[in-house]
Structure 1
Amino acid sequence: MPCVEGVPGRRVKVVFTLAWLLVASLFIFHASLLFEVAWQIRIFVPWLILHLGPRGAGKAIILGCFVVLFFAHLAEAMAWGLLIWRAGLVSSFSEGVYFSATSMTALGYGDVVLPPPWRLLGPLTAISGLLMFGCSTAFLFVVIQAVWEHQG
């Protein structure tokens, strides 16, 4: 198997296979989380309205969604950071999380850059992160819209 700029081809295949498995796993995690949060909202809305009133229930639901999604995105950045660090592409776990978070959010400072042939992990992280942020944004929009309709 040929080397890519001094990196054994087998290692490249293993890391990129793990990256694709991570993408699939994170999509499943994120979609499952969104469905679970939606299900929990449906279950707890009557209880929240009873104990907090309609306005308080709406605020609690929106705040709860923001907190859950914030920690979900943080966990996803940490998963990418762990992969990048364990593959030996950065010197520390925190640097891996930093790289993945700046990639996922399309911030992309460029102060941490992966060497070839690993540069493709940056766009892969960014594409998956932006899709998940888009799904989260759409979900929050639906939740906020539903709260406003019921408080109208």
Structure 2
Amino acid sequence: MLTQLALGSVLTLATIIIATLSWWALEAVLIRMHGWSIRPPHGPRLMFVLALSLVWTLMMMTVAVWVWAIALLELGIFATLEAAVYFALVAFTTLGFGDVLLPQEWRLLGGMAAANGLLMFGLLTAILVEILRDTRLRQRGGRH
């Protein structure tokens, strides 16, 4: 039990660190785009910033799922990469179809993966809101 909790915690921490480090990279790109993004017309530029941010968010969720899938595969829990990715994605999104299950000795990892997914969705949603808020403020001349 403690092994599962420790491993789940390490995997969760790894995905959060990856997401926050990549946030710095995205922030650097957005700062470089600052002059462009505040010029009219604002609507298309805001949509571009939003699209860029959403693609980044999708990439971060994909990376997090792959981190879990590779760990599950390396532990020998699943025989194929497809099964490991499928389980990680279903757990991460908390769909929980139940058609692919972890063996009983590893079942706590399913809950840890779901908790990691919830944390990632929360973190990435907060980052998206901050990007949109900041972009709109800059477009309105409130912050440079």
User: TM-score normalised to the size of structure 2?
Assistant: 0.83
The answer on whether the counterparts of 2:38 and 2:139 sit within 8 Å (CA) in structure 1 is no
Give the length in aligned residue pairs.
140
Once structures 1 and 2 are overlaid, which stretch shifts more, 140-149 or 65-74? 140-149
CA distance in 2, matches of 1:24, 1:143: 23
- For structure 1, list consecutive stretches of 5 or more residues without a partner in the other structure: 5-11
- Paired residue for 2:103, among 110, 115, 127? 115
Q: Percent identity?
A: 25
Quote the offset at 1:20 in angstroms.
3.2
Report the CA distance shift for 1:96/1:88 in structure 2 as closer, same or farther (over 3 A): same
Amino acid at match of 1:76: A
State the alpha-carbon separation in 2 of the partners of residues 46 and 75 from structure 1.
30
Give the Å deviation of 1:105.
0.9
Contact 1:19 1:83 in 2 (8 A): no
The C-alpha deviation readout for 1:41-73, integer Å capped at 9, x for no partner, is 1221213456x8433321111000000110111
Aligned partner letter, 1:138: A
Structure 1 length-normalised TM: 0.79
* Deviations 1:69-117, CA, capped at 9 Å, x for gaps: 1011111101111111121111211110110111111111111111111
Q: Does 1:21 align with 2:23?
A: no
1:143 corresponding residue in structure 2: 131
Larger CA Rg, structure 1 vs 2? 1
Once residues 118 and 13 of structure 2 are traced to their aligned partners in structure 1, the CA distance between those partners, rounded to angstroms, is 14
> What is aligned with 1:100?
88
Cα 1:86/1:24, change in 2 over 3 Å: same
Deviates more, 1:52-61 or 1:79-88: 52-61
